[in-house]
């Protein structure tokens, strides 16, 4: 039997980071605008080092090439540490320094392709520049999200109502201690096993009704008996042509052939 792991957790994280940055025309336009402005201004000496067209191409490659791994690092910290670091400014410098490592590697690679010779002192300088830019953007994001969370006390009922609406109805059927982030669901005779990051519960209902109540969580039915949330997938296995997904709770679920297209459209399978 041939067993091959096609997508490991890091690849899945990079894919989600790409979708987060370029999944909509608006997000892609923002990145393109940043690349255009960098090409126009020519920071870090690129005005003198490149012709005009080269400079725009260089900054387009640098912007797209560094944004994805930086986003992946921040998403990785959020996911594996269990909370959003945007809420704690003390973590921003640390994560920015970590995220600047792959960003610097990308910049060095692109600069080399454009004919530059990068020695050790230059590499250190590039790392410092990347760290400065990443920390500046992360700080701006932190301030923006912090400001958006400052709502008047009178708005609390509205906020609570919106939070209630954004929570999948299926969670209301679970015991209070099991109501967490929805990971997957499986049909078992006349019951549905609902698995969250706080445990699992059996609910007496039809599987198709449970899938309907999983909205608005982004996920897909990948088998006649299985539904999974997109952000619960950590790896993909291919075994003799059959596809299985590894999930964050340690389970492995099969992907039916007839469900592959829908799973890809929901970014569950890639």
Q: Do residues 139 and 18 share a domain?
A: yes
Q: Do residues 173 and 245 share a domain?
A: yes
Q: Do residues 145 and 172 share a domain?
A: no
- Confidence at residue 147, expressed as pLDDT on a 0 to 100 scale: 53
Boundary residue ending a domain (149, 178, 213): 149
Q: Do residues 137 and 234 share a domain?
A: no
Helices (H), the chain: 9-22, 25-41, 46-49, 52-81, 92-113, 120-149, 156-166, 207-213, 260-265
Q: Do residues 24 and 97 share a domain?
A: yes
Asked whether the bond before 77 is cis by omega within 30 degrees of 0, the reply is no
Sign of the alpha-carbon torsion through 110, 138, 131, 90: negative
Q: Domain containing 188: what range?
A: 167-265
Q: What is the number of domains present in the chain?
A: 2
Q: Do residues 137 and 171 share a domain?
A: no
136: left (phi over 0), alpha (psi -120 to 50) or beta: alpha
Each residue of 43-56: pLDDT tens digit? Answer: 887 877 778 888 99
Find all residues with CB under 8 Å of 184, minimum gap 6, and list them. 195, 226, 227, 228, 229, 232, 247, 249, 251, 253
pTM tops 0.95: no
Boundary residue ending a domain (149, 184, 213): 149
Q: Do residues 188 and 127 share a domain?
A: no
Q: Do residues 198 and 231 share a domain?
A: yes
Q: Do residues 29 and 132 share a domain?
A: yes
Q: Do residues 66 and 18 share a domain?
A: yes
Each residue of 209-243: pLDDT tens digit? Answer: 999 999 888 899 999 999 999 888 888 888 777 88
Residue 43 lies in a domain: yes
Interval 7-24 mean pLDDT: 60
Give the C-alpha separation, 69 to 107, whole Å: 12
- Confidence at residue 9, expressed as pLDDT on a 0 to 100 scale: 52
Find all residues with CB under 8 Å of 192, minimum gap 6, and list them. 185, 186, 202, 203, 205, 206, 207, 210
Boundary residue ending a domain (119, 149, 179): 149
Q: Do residues 196 and 123 share a domain?
A: no
């Amino acid at each position: 039997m041939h067993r091959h792991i096609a997508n490991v957790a890091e690849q899945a994280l990079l894919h989600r980071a790409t979708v987060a940055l370029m999944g909509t025309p608006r997000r892609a336009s923002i990145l393109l605008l940043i690349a255009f402005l960098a090409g126009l201004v020519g920071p870090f000496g690129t005005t003198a080092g490149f012709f005009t067209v080269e400079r725009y191409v260089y900054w387009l490659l640098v912007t797209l090439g560094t944004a994805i791994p930086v986003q992946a690092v921040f998403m990785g910290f959020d996911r594996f540490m269990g909370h959003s670091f945007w809420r704690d400014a003390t973590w921003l410098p640390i994560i920015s320094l970590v995220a600047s490592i792959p960003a610097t590697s990308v910049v060095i690679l692109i600069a080399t392709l454009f004919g530059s010779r990068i020695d050790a002192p230059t590499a250190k300088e590039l790392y410092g520049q990347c760290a400065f830019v990443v920390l500046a953007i992360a700080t701006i994001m932190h301030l923006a999200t912090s400001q958006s969370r400052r709502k008047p006390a009178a708005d609390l009922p509205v906020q609570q109502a919106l939070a209630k609406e954004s929570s999948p109805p299926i969670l209301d059927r679970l015991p209070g201690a099991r109501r967490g982030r929805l990971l997957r669901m499986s049909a078992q005779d006349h019951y549905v096993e609902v698995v969250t990051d706080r445990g699992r519960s059996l609910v007496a209902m039809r599987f198709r009704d449970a899938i309907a109540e999983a909205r608005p969580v982004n996920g897909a039915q990948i088998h006649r008996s299985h539904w999974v949330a997109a952000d619960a997938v950590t790896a993909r296995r291919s075994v003799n042509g059959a596809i299985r997904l590894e999930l964050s709770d340690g389970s492995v679920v099969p992907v039916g052939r007839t469900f592959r297209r829908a799973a890809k459209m929901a970014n569950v399978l890639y």
